[in-house]
Structures are given as C-alpha cells and as structure tokens.
C-alpha cells in the first residue's frame, strides 16, 4: 500500500483517499481487522504525501480517526516508560493529516520526540527517511503559535549547520528544516539576524535553487509528464516549497538586509524557467513577488532591477491565468501603487520615490500594461462574485503609478 501511495499524486491521490476511505479504515481499526501500528504508518505516509503535494487538508481530515490518535497519545503520556516510536508516529500522523487540529498541549508534549528523530546522525537509508519525515512534520509547525521556541532553536540551527558542513540530509528534509525555522520569524523576530547572517540564508537559497534547477529539463517536461516522473517529488516539489518559503520570509521580514533583495532575482529565475509548463510553481513565484512588494524592507527599485515587475507584467498580459495568479498579480500592483502615492519623510527619500515612479511609468507604457490591465478591470464586477477577489479595490487608480 505504501508503494501505491508513493506512485499516485494530485487528482488521483484525492480520488483514492476519500472520506469514505478513511471511514472504512476507521471501522477496520474499531473492529480490529487491521493492526493499529500498521494503520498509523499507512496514514502517516498518506499525510506526508498530502503535505508534499500541498493538497487541501479538508480532503483528508477525519475527526474520529484524529480523536482516536490523540487519545492514544494521552494514554501513552501517562505511562512511566513511554513508547517514543509510537508517540512520534502518532504525532506525525495527526499533524500531517489534520494540519493542526490537535491540542497545543499534545503537540508540545510530542515536539521533543520529533526533534530527537530529526537530530539523528546515522547515514542509513532508513534513518534518512525517518529524519525527512520528522522535518517535514515540523515544517507544518506554524499552526502552533510560539510553542517550543526555546525548545527547538539550538536543535534546528544545529541541523542546518551540520548539513551545510556534511550534506547529510535529503533535499526535502533540508528544505523542511528551513521552512520550519522561517515560520518561527512570525513569533520571534530576533531570529532574523541568525537566519540571514549565521545561517547564510541568501547564499543557501541561491546554491540550492541553482543545484535543483540544473536537474530539471524545463522545456521537455510539461506538468502532466512530470507528475508521472520520480523527478517531480525529488526536484520540482522541493523547488516549489523553497519559493513558498521565500514568500513566508517576505511576509515576516522586518529588518533591512541589503543582500536579501536579490532573493527576488532568484524567484524570477525560477519563474522564467517554469512559466510555460509548471503553473503551480509559477503561482508560488507570483505569490512571493506579491509578498516582496508588500514587504517594507524590499526596495521598489529592486523589484524592477531583479525582474519582478517584468514577470508580473508578462503574467497580466497572458490569457491563461487562473484566479489565484490573477489575484496575486493585482495585489502586487496595489502594494506598489499604495506605497508610491505616499510622500517619504526625507528629501533624499522623496527624490528616490519620484525617480522610481518615473521608471515604473516608463516600463508600464513600454509593456502596454494599462491596456492589458483595463481589459481585466472591466470584468471586476464579475470576478468580485468569487471570494478570492473580494479584497481587491474597485478603484482603478489603485493599480497604476502616476507622476
């Protein structure tokens, strides 16, 4: 069954792992037709696939199964000699399948056991898989607020530094460790200096993306073909998760570091490679551009310099955008327009603002942005019926930059 799960993805995955499937599995557990240990391992594998492919958690959430596993964790917690392996399996299963629908108390109890697995140094294939699963689970840790910040900081930074020196983690495991840490910036901004300087975040992003992109034949493989290929999980999914993590970073970024703006350039490189054949990666790139435009620490000139503006203009002019990409593109220009309408405090800043506005206006005119955008704007009243668009402004001036 695990092999079957590994071989399916996307729509096929959803069509097999239905609510009825989980209901039947729950009944089999209740009637003792399947060993609980095997059921937990099976569901943990399903949960990891759900997380890797980014599938909506509501497809999988089954309250009775979730309650059963949480009760097992509580019972195990009461024992003097605890079964650490079972606790790790149960907690990983709950988090990966139900995305946070477990109590903070239970998660805080399980966290040290998951970290212990993530810290293993053995080089066997089995250990690598266990470490990867633990870090993948931790990458979903954002739903548990500030729990355990003091418990994980030394451990997770050690994991990242150790890999940078010895290369002991899989690509997915390493990305998950970073995603886990970046999400902590929401709760402890003091970590930002460590992330950028001590752990060399910008340098690592460039190195990893260059390496990953070198493995992919972007022109030959379209999205349907790669879903049938082993490379889909091993490279493209990890690239997608890195771009998503950069979007999270821009969302949290409070302190200005000059080198960090070049992250926009790395996102553009992925966008240019993926734009014709890989819509999900393209969406994550556009979303990260939007986060960068809304980040007070990214210079607007860098959005022009490193390709974000050109990329979004190209997206706007395409006729095949989906709703999510359309929405993020509009928000990108809303952020820029809003910021450049406000006068900046210093005389130097005000001069710079006017210069940036001029550059943007010239680019908009050169690319025919206004005509392309106006065509979309004419359909706003129709789009507004869809929940995703209801946050957008109906004032067309909010999407343009004027001198």
Residue numbers of the domain that contains 50: 1-102
Of 111, 106, 1, 102, nearest in space to 45 by CA = 1
268: left (phi over 0), alpha (psi -120 to 50) or beta: alpha
> Is 257 domain-assigned?
no
DSSP-assigned letter for residue 343: P
The pair of three-digit structure tokens given for residue 238, joined into one six-digit string: 């990890």
* Alpha carbon distance 260, 280 (integer Å): 24
> Is 41 domain-assigned?
yes
Place of tokens 């007070």: 296
Q: One digit per residue, pLDDT tens: the chain, 403 residues?
A: 556 555 555 556 667 777 788 888 889 988 888 888 888 888 888 888 888 877 766 666 677 888 888 888 899 888 989 898 988 998 888 888 876 667 778 878 888 889 999 999 888 889 999 999 999 998 887 655 555 566 678 888 999 999 999 999 999 999 999 998 888 877 676 778 888 888 999 999 999 999 999 888 776 655 555 555 554 557 888 999 999 999 999 988 877 777 788 999 999 999 999 988 888 899 999 999 999 999 878 888 899 999 999 999 888 887 666 778 888 988 998 898 888 888 777 777 788 888 888 888 888 888 787 777 777 766 666 666 666 666 777 777 788 776 6
Place of tokens 């089995």: 126
> Is 297 domain-assigned?
no
Q: How many domains does the chain have?
A: 1
> Is 28 domain-assigned?
yes
> Is 57 domain-assigned?
yes
> Is 117 domain-assigned?
no
For residues 71 and 30, is the Cβ–Cβ distance under 8 A?
no
The pair of three-digit structure tokens given for residue 82, joined into one six-digit string: 């605890």
State CA 291 to chain mean position distance: 12
* Alpha carbon distance 202, 282 (integer Å): 21
> Is 15 domain-assigned?
yes
Of 127, 94, 129, nearest in space to 109 by CA = 94
Element of type H or E holding 97 = helix 84-98
The pair of three-digit structure tokens given for residue 245, joined into one six-digit string: 């993590």
> Is 68 domain-assigned?
yes
Place of tokens 């939007």: 290
């Amino acid at each position: 069954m695990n092999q079957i799960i590994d071989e399916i993805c996307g729509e096929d995955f959803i069509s097999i792992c239905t609510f009825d499937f989980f209901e039947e599995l729950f009944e089999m557990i209740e009637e003792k037709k399947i060993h609980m240990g095997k059921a937990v391992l099976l569901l943990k594998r399903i949960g990891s696939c759900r997380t890797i492919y980014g599938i909506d958690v509501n497809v999988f959430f089954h309250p009775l199964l979730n309650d059963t596993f949480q009760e097992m964790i509580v019972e195990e917690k009461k024992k003097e000699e605890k079964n650490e392996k079972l606790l790790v399996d149960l907690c990983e299963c709950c988090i990966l399948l139900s995305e946070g629908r477990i109590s903070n108390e239970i998660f805080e109890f399980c966290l040290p056991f998951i970290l212990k697995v993530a810290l293993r140094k053995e080089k066997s294939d089995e250990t690598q898989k266990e470490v990867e699963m633990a870090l993948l689970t931790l990458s979903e840790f954002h739903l548990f607020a500030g729990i355990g910040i003091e418990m994980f900081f030394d451990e997770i930074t050690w994991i990242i530094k150790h890999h940078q020196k010895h290369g002991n983690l899989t690509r997915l495991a390493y990305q998950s460790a970073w995603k886990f840490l970046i999400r902590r910036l929401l709760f402890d901004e003091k970590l930002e200096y460590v992330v950028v300087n001590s752990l060399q975040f910008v340098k690592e992003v460039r190195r990893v993306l260059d390496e990953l992109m070198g493995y992919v034949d972007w022109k030959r493989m379209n999205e349907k073909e790669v879903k049938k290929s082993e490379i889909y999980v091993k490279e493209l999914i990890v690239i997608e998760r890195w771009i998503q993590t950069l979007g999270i970073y821009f969302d949290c970024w409070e302190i200005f570091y000059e080198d960090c703006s070049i992250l926009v350039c790395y996102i553009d490189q992925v966008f240019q490679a993926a734009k014709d054949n890989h819509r999900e990666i393209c969406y994550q790139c556009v979303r990260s551009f939007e986060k960068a435009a809304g980040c007070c620490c990214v210079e607007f000139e860098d959005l022009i310099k490193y390709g974000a503006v050109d990329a979004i203009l190209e997206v706007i002019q395409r006729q095949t955008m989906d709703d999510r990409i359309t929405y993020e593109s509009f928000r990108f220009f809303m952020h820029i327009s809003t910021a450049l309408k406000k006068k900046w405090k210093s005389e130097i800043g005000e001069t710079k603002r006017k210069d940036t506005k001029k550059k943007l206006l010239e680019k908009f005119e050169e690319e025919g942005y206004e005509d392309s955008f106006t065509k979309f704007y004419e359909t706003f009243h129709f789009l507004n019926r869809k929940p995703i668009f209801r946050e957008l402004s109906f004032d067309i001036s909010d999407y343009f930059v004027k001198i």
